[in-house]
Amino acid sequence: MNKESAIKIRVANLYKSFGESQVLRGVDLEVHQGESMVVIGGSGSGKTVLIKCIIGLVQPDGGEIYVDGLEVSNLNEKRMNEVRKKFGMLFQWGALFDSMTVWENVGFGLRHQTHLKEEDIRRMATEKLALVGLRNVEDLMPSELSGGMRKRVSLARAIAIEPEILLYDEPTTGIDPIMADAINDLIVQMREKLDVTSIAITHDMKSAYKIGDRIAMLYQGKIIEVGTPEEIKNCSNPIVQQFIEGKSEGPIRIVDPALLTLPSRSQRRGDRDEQEKGDY
């Protein structure tokens, strides 16, 4: 029991396909209490689908997900909502409600899950915004914020209801390197100050090393390697090595090499004529 309780989230043999394409093909992952797990993988490797399965936004086709020992992948909407109260999620582009001001966004969870008074909600929203380093933005609309600020507000919204688990969907994508580093610092602080368990998905290795206690690599719908940042850096798996060093050549093939060799001009013209005739 003792060892079991140390595991906060356990994903076992998770499968998910969309139509013909199999995105997850048996994912296994364990995240311990208070740990910061980073899942790395290429674009389209199913990272986002994985965390959306964990928080119940996507229904998996097979496999189990345990949160605090409770199997959650088949819960009904009402019970899933109870489980979701343990979670906070930072979305890739913030996903702020653009019909509401910043403080209303941050206070949304409080307004709907507690019976606090408006002024208390506003005060708590202001506190959370200060925690992510934002001041005097309460009455702005999301459209008036920069990309980095949107992510911070989204983070403030995610931590407003004091979740036990935080999920980060590409926390550093789409913002400048300095802001990205500031977000990384924030994520580390969140873990230290709030003692949360977190799962972050990213393809930014700098971020992964900084925020992760452990790193897992998702490749072709499976976790192929899990380890501390140090272990991952020194991992002998050529797929992992290629990914963390960001090389286009190696076992992971992005595009068919034959397509990369450009034909000569006359050849291309001939091809095009033929294609117009033959291809539908």
Partner 1 sequence: MRIARLPQAGTKRLALICEGGYLNPFSWIGNHTIRFLEEAGRIMILFAQTFSWVFRPPLEGREILRQMQEVGVRSFPVVVITAAFTGMVLALQSFTGFKRFGAETMVGTVVALSMTRELGPVLTGLMVSGRVGSAMAAELGTMRVTEQIDALYTLATNPIKYLIVPRFLAAMIMLPILVIFADIIGILGGYLVSVQILGTNPTLYFRRTWNFLELDDLYIGLLKALFFGMIIATISCYQGFSAQGGAEGVGRATTKAVVISSLTILISNYFITAILF
Which of 86, 214 has the CB closer to partner 1? 86
- Least distance in angstroms from the C-beta of 87 to partner 1: 6
Burial of 112 from C-beta contacts in 10 A (0-12 / 13-18 / 19+): exposed
Which of 112, 135 has the CB closer to partner 1? 112
Which of 52, 128 has the CB closer to partner 1? 52
Radius of gyration over alpha carbons of the chain, in Å? 22
Which of 116, 235 has the CB closer to partner 1? 116
**What's the DSSP call for residue 99?**
T
- Least distance in angstroms from the C-beta of 125 to partner 1: 13
DSSP 46-102: SHHHHHHHHTTSS--SEEEEEETTEE-TT--HHHHHHHHTTEEEE-TT----TTS-H
- Least distance in angstroms from the C-beta of 57 to partner 1: 5
For the chain, the 3-state helix, strand and coil shares in percent, each to the nearest 5, are 40, 25, 35
Q: Which two tokens stand for residue 221?
A: 């719908």
Positions touching partner 1 (CB under 8 A) are 52, 55-57, 77, 81-82, 84-85, 87-89, 91-93, 95-98, 108-109, 112-113, 157-158, 161, 274-275, 277-280
- What is the C-alpha separation between 249 and 34, in angstroms, rounded? 37
Q: Which two tokens stand for residue 122?
A: 């506003």
Which of 93, 250 has the CB closer to partner 1? 93
- What is the C-alpha separation between 164 and 190, in angstroms, rounded? 11
Which of 245, 271 has the CB closer to partner 1? 271
- Least distance in angstroms from the C-beta of 168 to partner 1: 12
- Least distance in angstroms from the C-beta of 77 to partner 1: 7
- What is the C-alpha separation between 66 and 219, in angstroms, rounded? 22
- Least distance in angstroms from the C-beta of 109 to partner 1: 4
